[in-house]
Structure 1
Amino acid sequence: MTVHYHEEDLPAGVLADGDVAVDTETMGLVTHRDRLCVVQISDGNGDEHLVRFAKGSSYDAPNLKAVLADPNRVKIYHFARFDLAAIEYYLGVTAAPVFCTKIASKMTRTYTDRHGLKNLIDEMLGETISKQQQSSDWGGDELSEAQREYAASDVRYLHRLRDLLIPRLEREGRLDMAQACFDFLPTRARLDMAGWADKDIFSHES
């Protein structure tokens, strides 16, 4: 298991074919204001790749963009709604098709309200990750070893979680409904960026 660090783009040919786990680190939670700093990606075979973007980056990352936009690769996220918005706003690609472990958790683990990635990994995989670096400064010229490990851990387990959550969705008869939610997520992210982040447009209320 190795964490690979890259500047401004993913090297060509470092990922195996197939689905990839994806996550992002930004300067904050407001997409238009808080720039994209890091994209983490893994093919599920044991290594994680971190792509750091410097202040003032042009986000010209053709290799990374090609993987993210590939319609034949499912992108596995935890809380895809946020990552899709950051990727589309800064990299200019729709990083779909999507599987979101947070949505899958909410649709299957209805016995709890604990759907954070740390909670899923603890319950479903029996492993523990640290979230200590979650609110650290991702915009510096260097990433600390703790930041690199934190970022890598956010994609390290997503393939395994997806593979455990799909049978639960099937068991509860909710796989098709979950897939419809996943398919809508790029639009949900665009609604967030367009000003409807806190509004339920399906509600009767104004």
Structure 2
Amino acid sequence: MTEYSVISDVSEFHAACAALAAGSGPVAVDVERASGFRYSQRAYLVQVYRREAGVFLFDPPALGDFSPLQQAIGDVLWVFHAASQDLPSLRELDLVPHSIFDTELASRLLGHERVGLAAVVENALGITLKKEHSAADWSTRPLPAAWLEYAALDVLHLIDVYEILQAELEDQGKTEFAAEEFAATLTRLPKPPREDPWRRLSGLHQVRGARNLAVARSLWQARESFAQDQDVSPGRLVPDRSLVAAVLANPQSKQALAGTKEFQGRASRSQIDRWWQAMVDGRSTEDLPRERVPSDTLPPPRAWADRNPEADARLKAARPVVEATAEEMGMPTENLLTPDHLRRVAWDVPGPTAEDIGAALEALGARPWQIAQTAQKIADAFVEAAQTPDETPADAS
């Protein structure tokens, strides 16, 4: 096992940045978080590898200012595996690549069956990586040596993998497709905050009535505030199912809440005053939530025949065409075109031409290469669906 250490000293950090700046070629970058343990999605370890420089493991909480690293490598290509997972945490450190290559996304476009990092490395290089520490609490200090070895290997082979996948993309004529996908990943804006994030409570569908929903909201808010203050993942304090169980049990006293068997979690009893006050607040508030909220979510396709039969016919005509095109191109259908994009243009067709379809797909976020491969075929399928006679038997009366 190679010995790796975490760089937490500023002078060592500057020396590492100088070494990386003097290295050659792209850099491989990865981030370790403490998802499921901490409230935030901050980076607790940043791994960087560059040829002629080596692997460096940086400690973000200890170092703080990462501008020297940005200056050292900001202008070169950054190679990731599943970049969309790491970019938000890196942006919090003001680490922003100019361009990226994503080995997971490239593998999908190439039609590889398995696209996890270990599978991609093994397929490309014949090297087996152990992934036993992927769900570890990376806020732990000091980090165990085995974890550091694992973290280093996440970047050590990425440049070799990148070169092999890049050659495969060229051989399959997919270099431009990949470039558009990488650019879209890099520039994609974070999703705006949900208007009512408490409605994502698992099991909330069991709660009936505006007043009970107000109690659920109040409990969620109390847990969220405490979790943020303690920097602990909310579910580790009190799981969703326990909050919902408390609402359904409808205890009439703090003691009754504490006695509710289903109300569990490491902070369920130690913070019983907090949870009881949240229930009291929810029961007394005049700001009652709506029981149903508007949504732009489409009905499930199985309901389309009754709800919108014309759209159902369009989707049934276009979907196999898109699937066949993806198969011909050797990639998953969802990488050729996001299924929801097809459903939306089928549900509310923007116009009869490929240009109309393409403009609607672009507005939904489809990339130019996806539109070029699918818009005309979708338009043709929609025309065919409109011309197909209705097979429903006519009313004999």
Into which bin does the TM-score normalised by the smaller protein fall? 0.7 to 0.9
Which residue is 2:67 aligned to? 62
Q: CA 1:4 to 1:33, structure 2 compared with 1: closer, same or farther past 3 Å? A: closer
TM-score w.r.t. the length of structure 2 is 0.45
Q: Do the aligned residues in 2 keep the contact of 1:20 with 1:41 (CA within 8 Å)?
A: yes
Q: Which sections of structure 1, spanning at least 5 residues, go unmatched?
A: none
| 3-state SS in 2 of match to 1:34 | coil
CA distance in 1, matches of 2:173, 2:161: 18
Render the CA deviation track for 1:53-96: whole Å, top value 9, x for unaligned: 23xx572122222235x22x0000000111111101x2123223
Among all aligned residue pairs of Structure 1 and Structure 2, give the percentage whose two residues are the same amino acid: 25
Q: Do the aligned residues in 1 keep the contact of 2:70 with 2:96 (CA within 8 Å)?
A: no
Q: Do the aligned residues in 2 keep the contact of 1:75 with 1:99 (CA within 8 Å)?
A: yes
Matched, 1:14 2:7: no
Which residue is 1:127 aligned to? 127
CA distance in 2, matches of 1:59, 1:46: 22
Which residue is 1:36 aligned to? 43
Q: CA 1:101 to 1:195, structure 2 compared with 1: closer, same or farther past 3 Å? A: farther
Matched, 1:75 2:78: yes
Structure with greater helix percent: 2
Q: Which sections of structure 2, spanning at least 5 residues, go unmatched?
A: 195-296, 298-337, 348-363, 365-397
Q: CA 1:167 to 1:18, structure 2 compared with 1: closer, same or farther past 3 Å? A: closer
TM-score w.r.t. the length of structure 1 is 0.83
Which residue is 1:144 aligned to? 144
| 3-state SS in 2 of match to 1:148 | helix
| 3-state SS in 1 of match to 2:45 | strand
CA distance in 2, matches of 1:172, 1:20: 25
- Computed over aligned residues only, the root mean square deviation of the Cα atoms, in angstroms, reads 2.9
Q: Do the aligned residues in 2 keep the contact of 1:26 with 1:138 (CA within 8 Å)?
A: yes
| 3-state SS in 2 of match to 1:142 | coil
| 3-state SS in 1 of match to 2:19 | coil
| 3-state SS in 2 of match to 1:60 | coil
Matching residue within 97, 103, 111 for 1:95: 97
Which residue is 1:53 aligned to? 60
| 3-state SS in 1 of match to 2:47 | strand
CA distance in 1, matches of 2:147, 2:178: 32
CA distance in 1, matches of 2:137, 2:121: 24
Which residue is 2:174 aligned to? 174
Which residue is 1:184 aligned to? 184
CA distance in 2, matches of 1:32, 1:84: 18
Q: Structure 1 residue runs of 4+, over 4 Å off?
A: 29-32
Q: Do the aligned residues in 2 keep the contact of 1:2 with 1:47 (CA within 8 Å)?
A: no
| 3-state SS in 2 of match to 1:151 | helix
| 3-state SS in 2 of match to 1:14 | helix
May I ask how many residue pairs the two structures share in their alignment? 195
CA distance in 1, matches of 2:117, 2:30: 12
Matched, 1:106 2:108: yes
| 3-state SS in 2 of match to 1:24 | strand
CA distance in 2, matches of 1:148, 1:61: 20
